[in-house]
Chains A and B, each alone.
Chain A
Amino acid sequence: MRIATEQTATKPARQRLSPAALALIGVGVIGALLIIVMPLLVIFAQAFSAGWQVYVANLTHPDTLHAIGLTLLTAAIAVPVSTLFGVAAAWLVTRFDFPGKRLVSAFIDIPFSVSPVVAGVMYLMLYGSRGWLGSWLDAYGIQLMFNVAGVILVTIFITSPFVARELIPFMEAQGSEEEEAATSLGASGWQTFWRVTLPNIKWALIYGVILCNARAVGEFGAVSVVSGNIRGETNTLPLHVELLYQDYNATGAFAAASLLALIAVITLVLKTIAEWRQRHLLSSV
């Protein structure tokens, strides 16, 4: 049985491609090139269209530098928070049985099904100065909307399911035997987590963090609602791209966009590596 499945798995490699197969591959590859790859290329082509010097000048403009800084700050806070939540939630859902588990699981997924602008509106209705929690906070002089705090808060909301969603199926598949063995041999909870769980889930965790980071850096709709779009203050890099575009500074917009595109490409490379390592790890278990 084992041998048979291995044979079918390797079979396509030895198969000679029929004309029909070649035609399908051709259509698929050309489609992917035209729809996915060309948009990526056009960003860099446009960003450098006025020459290298203009590109550097565009990127080192104070407003752009500020936008880069705010984007990095947002990711630096939102990603660790979402990661901690993801690890805790995955541990809870995969290592224990308790009433309401499915409900908790469904709650974790909510941010995936809320569209970006709606997520922003949710936060505005709650924490805005006219919102029912916002008006109360306002009395204490705390403002959460139209400033950096609001940007970070919605980014946490948007990115919160990424790590949990990667870890849950992976930890479910791995089972908890090794951890149970460690605890029964006298390891404390933290020792078990650091020495047994973390090495096992390392690649799935890295994978989740990479996706989470990509989203934190690139979020547009939700951030756009709560940021107030104040140039040089609450403008993240994606918002800055739009602002430059509206100012008819297309080259500047493409230059700022090229940084985000570069992060996306790096994300894909890291993701491919993490995916490959993860598969390697699972098949060796």
Chain B
Amino acid sequence: MLATALPMPRTKRVLPGFGLTLGTTLLFVAIIILLPLAGLVLKAGGLGLQEFWSLVTSERALASYKVTLGSALGASVFNLFLGLLLAWILVRYRFPGRTMLDAVIDLPFALPTAVAGLALTGLFAGNGWYGKLLEPLGIQVAYTTLGITVAMAFTTLPFVVRSVQPVLEDLEPELEEAAQTLGATAWQTFRRVIFPPILPALLSGFVLSLARGLGEFGAVIFIAGNMPYETEVISLLIMIRLEEYDYASAAALASVMLAAAFALLISISLLQGYLNRHSRKS
């Protein structure tokens, strides 16, 4: 027992295959990943600062940023609540159908986005199962920004659940019981005992969901209505520019999305590192 706990002497490179796997991996990374990435960056970089700026700040582009960001934020906030609730009941309670629920959570990842978009449109359109109930109440979902939010919430829901679930599993229920024995209310227990350790996971689920929502295309275009300035997401604007053979615009907008995605993902890894260090200290 003790021997395995001690740091093992570094015996790497004992195994064969270093050259083969390094060669395969680097060749693949270069051709499939880095070269196309460079292709986009060079194309966008070759535009010149002034042209680039005017393309990415055109009125239609600004409107599409607003639609996309607003919907993705709405969807991620929604996921924060439902995702935390689902993770909580999956970890803490045993009830009939729990295993089934756990498996079903991943459906949005397994279902092709176009299929999800079609299905949600079918549900929320005026003659759909949900639309029939909601539209008499004056709630129009299909072909509005609310519909875009619903589509993004669907495709990104598993992120928060799957980030929070393992952290909750590691959390000792004794701590909560102790807090309650000491007279804390349920809300106090949640805020002081449960919330701090799961915060990094919650945030990382939120940001992953946001990043994925910003780039969502397949699910969104079915339900969005796709009106310029109103229900047009960035991905769709890029597609429209490509269809117009306006490759400069498409490349400029795509590079903005690429930069946003990288910035978001770098920010979560930094934030997570900070929060982990911070929570360990206290």
Q: Residues of A with Cβ closer than 8 Å to B?
A: 8, 11-13, 15, 17, 20-21, 24-25, 27-29, 31-32, 35-40, 42-43, 46, 84-85, 88-89, 91-92, 95-98, 104, 107-108, 110-111, 113-119, 121-128, 130-133, 153, 156-157, 160, 176, 179-180, 183-184, 188-189, 192-193, 211, 214, 217-221, 224-225, 238-239, 241-242, 245, 250, 253-254, 257, 260-261, 264-265, 267-269, 271-272
Contact = CB atoms under 8 A, between A and B. Distances in A.
Given A32-B86, A92-B18, A264-B112, A97 B12 contact: yes
11 contacts: A21-B89, A35-B154, A107-B33, A107-B34, A110-B37, A176-B15, A192-B16, A193-B17, A214-B110, A238-B113, A260-B114
A183 B34 contact: no
Given A218-B115, A241-B118, A8 B222 contact: no
Contact of A113 (B29, B130, B157, B265): B265
Given A115-B214, A132-B39, A180-B15, A218 B105 contact: no
Nearest to B104: A36
A177 B194 CA distance: 38
B224 interface: no
Given A121-B251, A122-B37, A268 B120 contact: no
B34 A42 contact: no
**Interface SS majority for chain A:** helix
A200 B190 CA distance: 40
**Interface SS majority for chain B:** helix
Given A115-B216, A116-B218, A272-B103, A241 B115 contact: yes
Contacts of A39: 111, 116, 119-120, 122-123, 154
B238 interface: yes
Given A42-B128, A108-B29, A254 B122 contact: yes
Contacts of A111: 33
A182 to B, nearest CB: 9
Contacts of A239: 114
Interface in B97-142: 97, 99, 101, 103-116, 118-120, 122-123, 128-130
B270 interface: no
B228 interface: no
B49 interface: no
Interface in B5-41: 10-18, 20-22, 24-26, 28-29, 32-40
B173 interface: yes
A113 B32 contact: no
Given A117-B254, A121-B242, A218 B114 contact: yes
A42 B112 contact: no
B40 A122 contact: yes
B258 A96 contact: no
Contacts of B186: 20
Given A95-B12, A220-B217, A113 B262 contact: yes
Contact of A17 (B14, B85, B95): B95
A84 B254 CA distance: 29
